[in-house]
Structure 1
Amino acid sequence: MTDADDRDPALERAIGRAWADDAPWELLTELTALDHRMGGSPGERRAAELVRDAFADAGLREVDVDEFPMRYWERGTSEFAVVGPDERSFEAIALPYSPAGDVEGPLVDVGYGTPEEIEAAGETLRGGIAVASTTTPPGRRFVHRMEKFGHAVAAGAEAFVFANHVPGQLPPTGALAFDGEAAMPGVGVSAETGDWLSEYARDGGRARLRVDATTEAGTSRNVVGTVGPDTDEEIVVVAHYDAHDVAEGALDNGCGIATVLGAARLLARIEDDLARRVRIAAVGCEEVGLLGAEALADDLDLGAVHAVVNVDGAGRFRGLKAYSHAAPELASLADRVTDRYGQPVVHERDPHPFSDHWPFLRAGVPALQLHSDPADGGERGRGWGHTAADTRDKVDPRNLREHAVLTALLVRDLTRTDVPRIDDDDLRDALREQAYEPGMRASGIWPPKWK
């Protein structure tokens, strides 16, 4: 700590109480005990009520539940089989916003599903069923599922198969589109099934994929409260509380919203020390298209939002990871705070559009995303996330407490730190340099203003 912080008994007491605070773990337990928290579902509605009560108990002011419209996707049954003389069925789960459909065609293994691999497949992919891994080759930026799907659609595929790269007979899930039916059916299969499908594809095999699913009008909710002084400018702290319907959603993003609750409780104890108002938001429907964050951004005066802190992935693992999204001042802030308290941080400075900071970042609001990595580096990608193995037993309460303290300290310093707006041209150019544009255009999320 700095000398100034050593002389701040209120901060010391707040940090000390946070180390013994069971409220984040209790909220995580309540959320993971629900059947599921799929965006727009009754379970997500109950989760919003639990978060509302936890925010009010934390001492936040003006805690409100704000409803917004969305397209509710509900999973039916899925069937997937290699057809021919040696017909064989495999377990598969539909990917959210997959339309209902019945497709038969040649299997085409597109490897990692990078743009180059899909382009190399050429005409063989037209009318076929694309099979892509959930991971990306080492040494390059992570290629998101929606990008892979979008490129497969553009190449003329008729269906999409997302094969987990993590073993354990775990079919992965994940939305194919934002808030509406995707262009073609898609399913997730396990790594073990993916291995078989690669072999069948090499031998010219064909497959049949059938999905039953519905998409209809629905609603979701954001839970919002404030702490700190009533200033013209504010910091927005956001975490999504929804999860996929195949799992408890403990890691993604039960840990994130539990971390935010812990941070909110600490900030409420030191609110006289905050230089700007802090708006804390638990948003719904992140997993199906950042819909809650979009609704929140629409409701706020973004010109008055000084910065956004997106807690998506913090609390899962031991090592804190900070995405500063092309704002070097935020990277410096993370270093300054973590160094002061003897906690290392791993940096990722390049921007990406696939989490709840995006509606703010594209409007020029500086964005810091707090994530986490296993201490040993771990395996690339979500690991247990988006599978039935995303359960509470994977969570270490120490990580929740530590990251809640660090989140609160980062927000405290951010209320006192001036950060310039993100230049629109610089953001667009940074995304282009990372080769995001083709995939974002194929997925329909490249901002129209960036022609």
Structure 2
Amino acid sequence: MSDVDIDAVLGRAWHDETSWELLTRLTELEERMGGHPGERRAADLVASAFEESGVERVKLREFEMWRWNRGRAELAVTEPIERSFGTLALPYSPAGDVHTELVDVGYGTPDEIEASDVRGKIAVASTTTPPEKGRFVHRMEKFGHAAAAGAEAFVFANHVPGQLPPTGALRFNAEAAMPGVGVSKEAGAWLTEYAERGGRAKLSVSATTERDTSQNVVGTLGPETDEEIVLLGHYDAHDIAEGALDNGCGIATVVGTARILAGMEPALERRVRVAGVGCEEVGLMGSEALADELDLESVAAVVNVDGAGRFRNLQAYTHGSDRIETLVEETCDEWDQPVAFSRDPHPYSDHWPFLHRGVPALQLHSQAPSGAERGRGWGHTHADTRDKVDPRNLREHAMLAALLVRELTRSEFPRIGNETLREQLRETDAEAGMRAAEVWPEGWD
């Protein structure tokens, strides 16, 4: 292996503004919703940033998807008083008009929904899941359980104050079974009270879904080897905000990481395939298309940068891989950098199309500050803006990600067998939720 002055490469990264500049250009776009024109403009920005960072053979690769158009949404209580609330349709909500009773299902856990009479009613659920309720229950799971129990519509009430109705897909790449909308924490508190008083509400959504295309941005770094490491992050975002945290920070960190890896290229022992993927927010379609395109037997591991760069300290989701956990721990110890771990696998980000086919996966996220509420925070709301980002976090996480990828190129990992992964998901009670969200892989039965 050729000698590389890693300290010099990292030293240059300390004052590199590449990640911040890309984040700025992305957040200046009107929107980056999957399949929309703004997402294509974002792809072009990512491609230019890759090329300027030393990534080779950069290409845009199109894939088909279902493009969802938000339209309008209206929500009004009709009993015990008449009152309207601001609301947002949730991606892949169908058009529809519902006028029926409200029912509060608390945090929307399976037990709470089962204990509530939701049939024929509008179910109201919080965006959060407190620790005493067990694992975090994803929005799609809550929606799926409510639909299966016979609800007519779904209202997702933010747990973060500030008059911020949240958005987020109800299904992946397909129209959902019933209308769904998001409301602010403040509106949710009123809806809960009106539900307790036997209230009724009228919900109207005029969204549409149609066939279209999106694209991935893909290139390579390092030696031409039979095996490779895939480094990816999604560049799309919901259309209601700048998408700075989710996932402007992530794709900006990928670009910073690629720039550092280009500087230490002789130290890489496997090829690194670098990708900016589209349509994560509406169904992981970009990463699914990338996984379909590659020979996964040649992919030694995938590094999914979704959430890195948001807060000060790195958080590593190791998805059941003891070997990857050890590598991350050793690397961060060597460079005297803190890291938090989440070990349980989950299917709600771009590592999943690789993980459920046997590829070991590392997701790089950020550890929320002490005392922060559980959940997504500013993400998926109008408040996901560039002013929330500290450029130092982008630089530091890019440096750590580059060091981790370098180690991944020269390490061996056991594949993740389907039976092992299924058992891990069942141990965390994730299977029922994945089935409700319709993301349990075909053939696993």
Q: TM-score w.r.t. structure 2 length?
A: 0.98
Structure 2 counterpart of 1:444: 438
Q: Secondary structure at the match of 1:171?
A: coil
**Which of 152, 158, 163 is residue 152 of structure 2 equivalent to?**
158
Q: Secondary structure at the match of 1:410?
A: helix
Quote the Cα distance in structure 2 between the aligned partners of 1:377 and 1:410: 28
**Which of 94, 98, 104 is residue 99 of structure 1 equivalent to?**
94
Q: Is the 8 A contact 2:157 2:166 kept in 1?
A: yes
Which residue identity does 1:16 align to in structure 2?
A: G
Structure 2 counterpart of 1:264: 258
Quote the Cα distance in structure 2 between the aligned partners of 1:386 and 1:403: 22
Structure 2 counterpart of 1:116: 111
Deviation at 1:437, TM superposition (A): 1.3
Q: Secondary structure at the match of 1:21?
A: coil
Residues 9 and 357 from structure 1, CA distance in 2 versus in 1: closer, same or farther, beyond 3 angstroms? closer
**Which of 115, 119, 123 is residue 130 of structure 1 equivalent to?**
123
Which residue identity does 1:76 align to in structure 2?
A: G
Structure 2 counterpart of 1:53: 48
Structure 1: gaps (5+ residues) = none
Identity of counterpart residues, as a percentage?
Answer: 68
Q: Secondary structure at the match of 2:310?
A: coil
**Which of 295, 299, 302 is residue 301 of structure 1 equivalent to?**
295
Tell whether 2:329 aligns with 1:351.
no
Q: Secondary structure at the match of 1:152?
A: helix
Deviation at 1:438, TM superposition (A): 1.4
Deviation at 1:248, TM superposition (A): 0.1
Deviation at 1:85, TM superposition (A): 5.1
CA RMSD of superposed structures (Å): 1.2
Which residue identity does 1:113 align to in structure 2?
A: G
Structure 2 counterpart of 1:12: 7
**Which of 377, 382, 387 is residue 381 of structure 2 equivalent to?**
387
Which residue identity does 1:409 align to in structure 2?
A: L
**Which of 178, 188, 192 is residue 172 of structure 2 equivalent to?**
178
Structure 2 counterpart of 1:288: 282
Q: Is the 8 A contact 2:253 2:398 kept in 1?
A: yes
Q: Secondary structure at the match of 1:76?
A: coil
Q: Is the 8 A contact 2:130 2:374 kept in 1?
A: no
Q: Secondary structure at the match of 1:119?
A: helix
Structure 2 counterpart of 1:373: 367
Which residue identity does 2:37 align to in structure 1?
A: P
Residues 106 and 138 from structure 1, CA distance in 2 versus in 1: closer, same or farther, beyond 3 angstroms? same
Deviation at 1:105, TM superposition (A): 1.1
Q: Secondary structure at the match of 1:242?
A: coil
Structure 1 counterpart of 2:64: 69
Which residue identity does 2:269 align to in structure 1?
A: A
Tell whether 2:82 aligns with 1:78.
no
Tell whether 2:20 aligns with 1:32.
no
Q: Secondary structure at the match of 2:206?
A: strand
**Which of 86, 89, 110 is residue 84 of structure 2 equivalent to?**
89
Which residue identity does 1:305 align to in structure 2?
A: V
Map 1:287-436; keep pairs closer than 5 Å. Answer: 287-436=281-430
Structure 2: gaps (5+ residues) = none
Which residue identity does 1:440 align to in structure 2?
A: M
Q: Secondary structure at the match of 2:303?
A: strand
Quote the Cα distance in structure 2 between the aligned partners of 1:103 and 1:9: 64
Residues 308-327 of structure 1, C-alpha deviation per residue, up to 9 Å, x if partnerless? 00000000001110000000
Residues 402-443 of structure 1, C-alpha deviation per residue, up to 9 Å, x if partnerless? 000000000000101101000211100111111111121122
Deviation at 1:275, TM superposition (A): 0.5
When structure 1 is superposed on structure 2, of 31-40 and 137-146 the one drifting more is 137-146
Quote the Cα distance in structure 2 between the aligned partners of 1:85 and 1:308: 53
Q: TM-score w.r.t. structure 1 length?
A: 0.97
Quote the Cα distance in structure 1 between the aligned partners of 2:319 and 2:86: 38
Tell whether 2:221 aligns with 1:227.
yes
Quote the Cα distance in structure 2 between the aligned partners of 1:220 and 1:344: 37
Would you say how many aligned residue pairs link Structure 1 and Structure 2?
444
Residues 222-270 of structure 1, C-alpha deviation per residue, up to 9 Å, x if partnerless? 0001000100000001100000000000000000000010000000111
Structure 1 counterpart of 2:16: 21
When structure 1 is superposed on structure 2, of 81-90 and 357-366 the one drifting more is 81-90
Q: Is the 8 A contact 2:4 2:264 kept in 1?
A: no
Residues 176-210 of structure 1, C-alpha deviation per residue, up to 9 Å, x if partnerless? 01112100000000000111111111111111100
